[in-house]
Amino acid sequence: MDNEGKNSGANVVPSEAEVAERVENLMGRMSLAEKIGQLTQIAGTPLFPGPEPEDVIRKGGAGSVLWLNDTKKFNALQKIAVEESPSKIPLLFALDVIHGYRTVFPVPLAMASSWDPSVAERAQAVAAKEARAAGLHWTFSPMLDIARDARWGRIVEGAGEDPCLGAAMAAAQVRGFQGESLGAPDRVLACAKHFAGYGAADGGRDYDPVYLPEGRLRNVYFPPFEAAVKAGVGTFMSAYMDLNDVPASGNRFLLRDVLRDEWGFQGFVVSDALAIGNLVIQGFARDGRDAAFRSLSAGVNMDMASDTYPQHLAGLVEDGTLQMSDIDAAVRPILAIKVRMGLFERPYTDESRLAQVVARPEHRQEARLAAQRSMVLLRNEGRLLPLHKDLKNVAVIGPLADSMEATEGSWMVFGHTPAAITVVEGIRARLPGARVEYAPGPEIRREIGSFFDDMPWAVKKDPQTAEQAEAAFQTAVATARSADLVVLVLGENADMAGEFASCTSLDLSGRQEELLEVVLALGKPVVLVLLNGRPLSIGWAAENVPAILEAWEPGSEGGHAVADILFGDVNPGGKLPVSFPRSGGHAPLYYARNLTHSPEGGRMYRSRYWDCPTTPLYPFGFGLSYTTFAITNLQVAALQIKVGSSVAVTADVTNTGPVLGDEVVQLYIHQKAGSDSRPLRELKGFERLTLKPGETKTVTFNLGPAELGYWSTNLGKWVQDAEAFDIWVGADSLATLHADLEVIR
């Protein structure tokens, strides 16, 4: 297809007034049916029964298409929309591009471990470029749900447990996806999801109801979303679950009062997939008609694939339950975004472009850098790491050691073919002359399958028999026995974290723990590399395995990045964005909890469990390096400040060890008394610095009303109390370097 003519036209950012005028012009010629079409997103793949997309589009019955990943088909459908549909409005093609399109980046939880928002921004810029070259306009990303319960599988898609880190990662990802403005070339429209509270599902069970008081929502769960609005995110996705007994996709408080009225969001809201229709199943809406009415009234502009808006909105307008102005108000921001994105001028995609764009070596380089910066060194007894490059005989053992799927992680784009460098490959590339033997050991697999198993491209494999597993176990042990050093690569398969991937146990699944213990008993030096999408309870390893690297699901270049770190070409500097629990029963677990009347360490309690310490296995913000750092000279510019004013906090950080390295300096506060009880620590600033041996840098943080204020449950409003604060600056959430600050009236 020759699309060049249609695609030409400079990328000029239209003014507000121009956009509004063009939208009104379009609206003036659209029928009610076409307007409802713009509020409708249809599936481009026959995942669900329904009319052919071509027929719906030809009638103007769709504003957007999802679950399609095929450039030719995009152009063919777009041609129908812009040439044959009544008002010729181009379609938005949407897909989940979560951590890369063809070049796969570390999963979002890993990118948050970099504590370097520029890593996430650059990664998502590459993802945007590749996705756009494929013909996609819109990604359902970033996922901004705070997650404090490691049982919840979708913890992998977000930035972890903390609102401050989460907000920084949110804004960075929006900038990465969207660029300077919505029409920027090589960028895509971002979608802040899932609004809101989804990560706090009861029991960590995906989709279960969420009960969060307003203070918790505003102080913890909302900040990443508000940061996305400030960064200019074009769209939001409403979540599935009940929030305080009102489904998020029918929740006026979320979608109107907070999102639009308080934060001034001007873009549009799409429901999660089928969520509007599901309001009936959820026991909220009486029927489809009621569901359509309640979602639209609550503020959901676009129905993702549930077919509820197209079936019911016209009837609701015809009988006067809804006004035409309600429909118009929902349609306007969708058209405005299409205008801003330049879709009317450039509706098509050059079909030869994707191949050139994805082949760029700099994309792989960015992926390798992101993976290097995301990994967290959890243990390094006796300085086992970095390894010597003259090693001659290494065993790389474990079910994930050569798994491209686990290396790339969950949520690949539809139809993606795994192509990652695995850990075995990375180590082999690093030790060309050495003997590097690989044995997977017994397989690991989910006990209950996933929805994704039914996707057309899913690879089905029969489970190993007990005999096969035992033989694989023995081969792995024998392989380890014949080596001088063992790298065990354990953790989770890609389908063990993500959507539909909650679990009750955080232990290493299958026979991995047994394999680890038997291999360690061989008396060889052992390095444990974890590939996983959630914190795991690795208590035994934390005491017995000398070196542990949390590599997460590191993406296309994961194996190279692991080798870069294991052999010391790169000094690890990532830090945990989540507390590591000691067991599944430890969840939910987070550092920013309130004090109790009888805190641990006091006279009464050593732990509030009798079978396990309350403290995390590894604290939030923790991570080691091959060098050492000293953080000293904490200075708060004033002992007292007035409510509403700000103060600078500075500290010096020195690399006291032998090699170049990165430290993430973290600032925590605690308000000692106030209108409400406040968390015993809250992160309020961080900075990742690179220091040469002996070098010192000074970090400066600012504490002002935004950092010192909070939503008071007691008073039902935002407050800044005149109270005393503890301030800590350090290398993790247990930092001990302390200063006082008093806020006065």
332 is an interface residue for ligand NOJ by CB under 6 A: no
Q: Which of residues 17-76 bind ligand NOJ (CB under 6 A)?
A: none
Q: How far is the CB of 161 from ligand NOJ (least distance, A)?
A: 19
Q: How far is the CB of 10 from ligand NOJ (least distance, A)?
A: 32
Nearer to ligand NOJ, 180 or 202 (CB): 202
560 is an interface residue for ligand NOJ by CB under 6 A: no
Dihedral angle over CA of 607, 160, 713, 242, nearest 10: -110
Task: Map residue 525 onto helix, strand or coil.
Answer: coil
Q: Which of residues 81-110 bind ligand NOJ (CB under 6 A)?
A: 96
Cβ atoms of 424 and 467 within 8 Å: the answer is: no
Nearer to ligand NOJ, 127 or 431 (CB): 127
Q: How far is the CB of 66 from ligand NOJ (least distance, A)?
A: 6
List beta partners, residue 397.
439, 488
d(CA 579, CA 586) in angstroms, rounded, equals 10
Cβ-closest position to ligand NOJ: 140
Cβ atoms of 436 and 401 within 8 Å: the answer is: no
d(CA 92, CA 75) in angstroms, rounded, equals 11
Nearer to ligand NOJ, 96 or 721 (CB): 96
Q: Which of residues 649-678 bind ligand NOJ (CB under 6 A)?
A: none
d(CA 561, CA 374) in angstroms, rounded, equals 10
Nearer to ligand NOJ, 69 or 571 (CB): 69
Q: How far is the CB of 687 from ligand NOJ (least distance, A)?
A: 31
In the set 140, 348, 580, 668, which binds ligand NOJ (CB under 6 A)?
140
Q: What are the catalytic residues?
A: 272
Nearer to ligand NOJ, 497 or 651 (CB): 497
Cβ atoms of 118 and 375 within 8 Å: the answer is: no
Cβ atoms of 144 and 226 within 8 Å: the answer is: no
145 is an interface residue for ligand NOJ by CB under 6 A: no
Cβ atoms of 180 and 174 within 8 Å: the answer is: no
Residue from 606, 579, 580, 583 nearest 592 by CA: 579
Nearer to ligand NOJ, 502 or 655 (CB): 502
Cβ atoms of 215 and 711 within 8 Å: the answer is: yes
Nearer to ligand NOJ, 201 or 259 (CB): 201
Q: Which of residues 179-198 bind ligand NOJ (CB under 6 A)?
A: 193
d(CA 304, CA 367) in angstroms, rounded, equals 31
Residue from 406, 312, 303, 415 nearest 47 by CA: 415
Helix, strand, coil content of the chain in percent (nearest 5): 35, 20, 45
Q: How far is the CB of 305 from ligand NOJ (least distance, A)?
A: 8
d(CA 578, CA 499) in angstroms, rounded, equals 18
Written as one string, the DSSP assignment of 528-560 is: EEEE-SS----HHHHHH-SEEEE--S--TTHHH
Q: How far is the CB of 241 from ligand NOJ (least distance, A)?
A: 10
Q: How far is the CB of 96 from ligand NOJ (least distance, A)?
A: 5
Q: Which of residues 256-295 bind ligand NOJ (CB under 6 A)?
A: 272-273
Query: ∠ at Cα 285 (280, 287), nearest 5°?
Result: 65
Q: Which residue intervals of 285-438 are DSSP H helices?
A: 288-298, 308-318, 324-340, 353-358, 361-374, 404-408, 423-430
Q: Which of residues 478-517 bind ligand NOJ (CB under 6 A)?
A: 499
Cβ atoms of 145 and 210 within 8 Å: the answer is: no
Nearer to ligand NOJ, 96 or 682 (CB): 96
Q: How far is the CB of 191 from ligand NOJ (least distance, A)?
A: 8
Q: How far is the CB of 97 from ligand NOJ (least distance, A)?
A: 10
Burial of 285 (0-12, 13-18, 19+ CB in 10 A): buried
Main-chain phi, psi angles of 421, to 5 degrees: -80, 120
Instruction: Using CB under 6 A, count the residues that bind ligand NOJ.
Output: 6
d(CA 254, CA 338) in angstroms, rounded, equals 25
Nearer to ligand NOJ, 270 or 421 (CB): 270
- Positions touching ligand NOJ (CB under 6 A) are 96, 140, 193, 272-273, 499
